[in-house]
Amino acid sequence: MNIFNTYRDYIENSIENLIAAGTLPAGLDSSRITVEPPRDPAHGDVSTNAAMVLAKPAAMKPRDLAEQIAARLREIEGVESVEIAGPGFINLRLGNSVWHQCLEAAIGLGKSYGDSDHGGGRRVNVEYVSTNPTGPLHIGHARGAVFGDVLASLLAKAGYTVTREYYVNDAGSQVDTLARSAHLRYCEALGRDIGEIPEGLYPGNYLKPIGRELADMNGDKWLDAPESDWLAEIRTFAIESMMALIREDLAVLGVHQDVFTSERKLVESGMVDEVLKTLEAMGHIYTGTLEPPKGRKPDDWEERPQTLFRASDFGDDIDRPLKKSDGSWTYFASDIANHLDKYRRGFTEMIDVWGADHAGYVKRMQAAVKAISSGEAELDVKICQLVRLTDKGQPVKMSKRGGTFVTLRELVDEVGPEVVRFIMLTRKNDAPLDFDLAAVTAASRDNPVWYVQYASARCHSVRRMAAAAFPNHDMSLSALARTPISCLTDDAELGLIKAVAGWPRLIEAAAEAHEPHRIAFFLYDTAALFHGLWTKGKDDSSLRFVIEEDKELTMARQALVRGVETVIASGLGIFGIEPVEEMR
RNA sequence: GCGCCCGUAGCUCAGCCGGAUAGAGCACAGGAUUCCUAAUCCUGGGGUCGCAGGUUCGAGUCCUGCCGGGCGCGCCA
């Protein structure tokens, strides 16, 4: 339950009353009304712009209308005061009891606190990682993997039915290159000196075990055989091996996906041909000639007519080719089939998570989704910008010689999966991210993971101290949910309670915007409030969490601590991180 | 040349589908520890929100044009 939604209902009821009373005309558009916490807490607890938004269509002065609405809001139980400010803001101040009820509810719900029906069970498909199965994942993939995985968890918490999807790019020429590279390692495993890996093949050592297995299974039958004999078989085997490797990499990071859709199968099943027919029937395809890109004309550019999709009819800048010069499908064509496949599986909300190098591809894919669904389906594309890996401020060298950049596995081995997951979400997806190996493992306020975990550890520490002070007292969640907490009236306590109360609203807003990073900032801010209250107890011992001579107060504060703990655990849970109970 | 993203304090960044006096951390200056983990906390200074227009009751946020940085631009995926 999001308390701001509760007050939105109250405000909308007030407006309906005014309509019924004839003060306001019927048919007003309430969609632009916001009900939110004011930025400046001095303005109260809940603020709405309703009077300003409705003033013009109602032909009233904003402040006059505000007064009419305010008069009705003052009748609501729990509303302490209603003030009109500035150009016509209505500011509500809520009594402490309202906040205390929020805290009680949070504790009562425990793990499920923050769960929302905002999504109404609507199905949403989140596609992420989706790399070529040609090698292990590197650090850049880690960001997209974490982002997609956490976004999916966030949407699930916000009441969506989520499918986590991986589109396996196993149909292009790159998997043929993979097969040739694997064949070379196969020859090597059979004792042949392969020398330097030729330009254009994958040099990585990770292919050596693949070559070994191929040799064990097939003997020397492909050693001097023409490529046509072995390409398809080795390709299939190598792709499967690479996908197994990628899944392991993802598992190490705690990332799992529900559906793996194979590009090759889409092509072989005729889905891509079908897409062409479908689009053709709709009149979205024609044969035409494209202008060469200006200022960067490829050397071997030759003008020729192509099969083009009318992307420019759907918001893209130019029309896009669907066939290569050799007649095979472009990646774009099969990706349209991929999205058509999703649409046919019942998804009208799709989210793709891509790397920065795919930014130029966004418009055409969105255009295609509109076209294949006749505007019914919506695709949001989240671009994850580059990760700059440093150590104590110095860039970490990427070794191309070994055929790998810094691999995801190396990164996770170095700092642990939980640190990687948290840090990857400490920036908006569309901003570059600095990942400093030294900073992310430091024990200081600079390091958000550590800082939030420290707050969690302190919660547990206080819990242990309280249990020691009152050994025979029931401090279970259900007991604390019933304990009287009206004695929590200090500003710092109320501030923390309000932060806890704001958790459901944050979930809904972050899910709506597809912005999981907001959780990281929320957790950091909440941790800061908690650390602040903690230290206040140093100056003023009456604010300590455990007061041995006052059991009632201690229990009330236990309730607060459990509320904080609940929110931190809930937030870290979406990130796939286990809260710590102790710091050593 | 074109498209997308970014530009907010000395540095790194928040700013919630437009809202009130633009906020944190780092760094800098000062302060708090016989007491629940001081690995923390408190106080202070510090800003033409890249520039210029526009939209409106109101713009860091939306639109247009410039400037600067990143990514990309048929036959890679």
User: Is residue A45's beta carbon less than 7 angstroms from any atom in nucleic acid strand B?
Assistant: no
Q: Which chain A residues 343-362 have CB under 7 A to strand B?
A: 356-362
Q: How far apart are CA A489 and CA A24, in angstroms?
A: 40
Residues in chain A, overall count: 584
Distance, angstroms, CA A167 to C1' B61? 35
Distance, angstroms, CA A88 to C1' B62? 22
User: Is residue A72's beta carbon less than 7 angstroms from any atom in nucleic acid strand B?
Assistant: no
Cβ neighbours of residue A65 closer than 8 Å, sequence gap 6 or more: A24, A51, A54, A55, A58, A88
Q: Which of A411, A360, A412, A355 is nearest to A386 (CA)?
A: A355
Distance, angstroms, CA A386 to C1' B48? 32
Distance, angstroms, CA A456 to C1' B33? 22
Report chain A (584 residues): mean pLDDT per 10 consecutive residues: 90 92 86 88 91 88 92 93 91 94 93 94 96 91 95 97 96 93 96 91 93 96 95 96 96 96 94 92 91 72 86 88 88 95 96 91 93 92 90 70 68 92 93 89 89 95 93 90 92 94 95 95 95 91 91 94 96 95 84
- Sheet with A35-36: strands ordered across: A35-36, A46-48, A89-94, A79-85
User: Which nucleotide's C1' sits nearest to the alpha carbon of A290?
Assistant: B74
- ipTM > 0.90, yes or no: yes
User: Is residue A432's beta carbon less than 7 angstroms from any atom in nucleic acid strand B?
Assistant: yes
Collapsed DSSP state (helix, strand, coil) of residue A283: coil
User: Which nucleotide's C1' sits nearest to the alpha carbon of A83?
Assistant: B20
Distance, angstroms, CA A539 to C1' B31? 13
pTM to 2 decimal places = 0.95
Collapsed DSSP state (helix, strand, coil) of residue A108: helix
User: Is residue A89's beta carbon less than 7 angstroms from any atom in nucleic acid strand B?
Assistant: yes
- Mark the nucleotides of strand B covered by protein, meaning any atom under 7 Å from a CB: 1-6, 12-17, 19-21, 23-26, 32-33, 35-42, 57-58, 70-77
Beta carbons of A116 and A152 less than 8 angstroms apart: no
What pLDDT does A404 receive? 47
User: Is residue A87's beta carbon less than 7 angstroms from any atom in nucleic acid strand B?
Assistant: yes
Alpha helices by DSSP H, A110-207: 139-157, 173-189
| Element (DSSP H or E) covering residue A262 | strand A259-262
Exposed/middle/buried for residue A326 (C-beta within 10 Å: 0-12, 13-18, 19+):
exposed
User: Which nucleotide's C1' sits nearest to the alpha carbon of A321?
Assistant: B74
User: Is residue A264's beta carbon less than 7 angstroms from any atom in nucleic acid strand B?
Assistant: no
